[in-house]
């Protein structure tokens, strides 16, 4: 089982106690800020993590992890190009803010930020 640390926390988040989430079905675990909540098997993801609402927030910021068996090998960019129409269809007003290739524990990953 692979443990994936969440990176890029702000100073405030670094002071929040970490919790460990484990997904035995998909074979991964990760540490997340303890003020987050999570829900499994939502929006076709193995798990979605949600930040607490604050101030005038009306939407909880979130991130999800989805594991998929693909019919062929794709690059991350090719896979995103295939799935972007689904995001546009399922998320009203979907607007991509940024999309970049990153590494998590030396594994290729894609960081997508959208509104």
Residue 113's pLDDT is what? 87
Whether 61 and 93 map to the same domain: the answer is: no
The DSSP element (H or E) to which 63 belongs, if any, is: strand 62-65
Residue 9 binned pLDDT confidence (cut-offs 50, 70, 90): very low
Whether 111 and 86 map to the same domain: the answer is: yes
Whether 6 and 39 map to the same domain: the answer is: yes
Whether 7 and 54 map to the same domain: the answer is: yes
**Residue 29 burial by CB count (10 A; 0-12/13-18/19+): exposed, middle or buried?**
middle
Query: Domain span at residue 18?
Result: 1-67
CA distance 69 to 71: 7
Which tens digit of pLDDT belongs to each residue from 84-112?
998 899 888 999 999 988 887 777 888 88
Count the neighbouring beta carbons within 10 Å of the beta carbon of residue 16.
Answer: 14
Whether 18 and 62 map to the same domain: the answer is: yes
Is the Cβ–Cβ distance between 110 and 101 less than 8 Å? yes
Is the Cβ–Cβ distance between 67 and 76 less than 8 Å? no
Whether 20 and 53 map to the same domain: the answer is: yes
Average pLDDT over residues 38-48: 89
What is the rounded average pLDDT for all residues in the chain?
82
The residue that leads in pLDDT, 13 or 111, is: 111
Is the Cβ–Cβ distance between 60 and 51 less than 8 Å? yes
Residue 66 binned pLDDT confidence (cut-offs 50, 70, 90): confident
């Amino acid at each position: 089982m692979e443990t994936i640390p969440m990176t890029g926390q702000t100073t405030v988040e670094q002071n929040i106690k970490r919790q460990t989430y484990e997904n035995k079905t998909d074979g991964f675990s990760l540490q997340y800020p303890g003020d987050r909540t999570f829900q499994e098997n939502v929006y076709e993801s193995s798990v979605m993590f949600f930040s607490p609402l604050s101030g005038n927030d009306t939407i909880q910021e979130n991130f999800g992890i989805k594991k998929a068996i693909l019919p062929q090998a794709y690059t991350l960019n090719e896979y995103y190009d295939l799935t972007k129409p689904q995001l546009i269809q399922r998320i009203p007003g979907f607007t991509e803010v940024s999309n970049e290739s990153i590494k998590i524990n030396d594994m290729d990953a894609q960081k997508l930020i959208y509104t």
